[in-house]
Amino acid sequence: MEAGTGKLLWKYATEEKILGGPNWTKVGDKTCVLVGSYDFKLHCVDVASGKAVWSYESSNYINGSPAVADGQTVFGGCDAMLHVISLADGQQVKEVEAGAYIAGSAALAGGRAYFGQFENEFLCVDLKEGKTPGRFMTGTFHIFLRRRWLATG
């Protein structure tokens, strides 16, 4: 939409609903929106034209917002995988087994992804190694973070 008038500039259709929020990033010289959909795809859309730059297909619904850092986007989904995707071309860098659905968004810091999953675990994944140096059982509905664990993994 045009900011000043609210006029629609373009539309981009996915094959299913979108429940998570979008994120934005630069892909080369283009500003792009990243959004996951229930069509199992993460879509990268050029904001100037509304055209697809690339899409990446997972194996189940994508609920959370994709996180962005260091030339990559990271997201989880109902396939119980954490997906690490190259922003340059939409190709998979790696995927990491999470043990259960990931319905929310991951937070990225220091080359690690932090996120919760549906079996009441809060995980830390080293994005370079693709390993999980930390898992924390949260109990039924409570998440307690220890400052030392977040700092040292």
pLDDT at 146 over 80: no
Q: Given this model, what pLDDT does residue 99 score?
A: 93
Residue 28 falls in which region: left (phi positive, over 0), alpha (psi -120 to 50) or beta: left
Lowest mean pLDDT among 77-86, 103-112, 126-135, 141-150: 141-150
Find where tokens 């990271």 sit: 74
> Of 139 and 57, which is predicted with more confidence?
57
Overall residue count recorded for the chain in this entry: 153
Q: Which CATH class is domain 23-152?
A: mainly beta
What does the chain look like in DSSP terms, one character per residue? Answer: --TTT---------SS---SPPEEEEETTEEEEEEE-TTSEEEEEETTT--EEEEEE-SS---SPPEEETTEEEEE-TTSEEEEEETTT--EEEEEE-SS---S--EEETTEEEEEETTTEEEEEETTTTEEEEEEE-TTT-----HHHHHH-
Determine contact, residues 59/76, Cβ cutoff 8 Å.
no
Mean pLDDT of 42-52: 97
Per-residue model confidence as pLDDT tens digits over 4-42: 999 999 999 999 999 999 999 999 999 999 999 999 999
Q: Given this model, what pLDDT does residue 3 score?
A: 83
Q: Given this model, what pLDDT does residue 147 score?
A: 45
pLDDT at 62 over 60: yes
Domain residue limits, the chain: 23-152
Per-residue model confidence as pLDDT tens digits over 97-136: 999 999 999 999 999 999 999 888 889 999 999 888 766 6
Q: Given this model, what pLDDT does residue 38 score?
A: 97
pLDDT at 148 over 60: no
The whole-angstrom separation of Cα 60 and Cα 43 is 14
Joined tokens for residue 110: 């220091």
Q: Given this model, what pLDDT does residue 33 score?
A: 97
Determine contact, residues 31/48, Cβ cutoff 8 Å.
yes
> Of 110 and 139, which is predicted with more confidence?
110
Joined tokens for residue 10: 């373009």
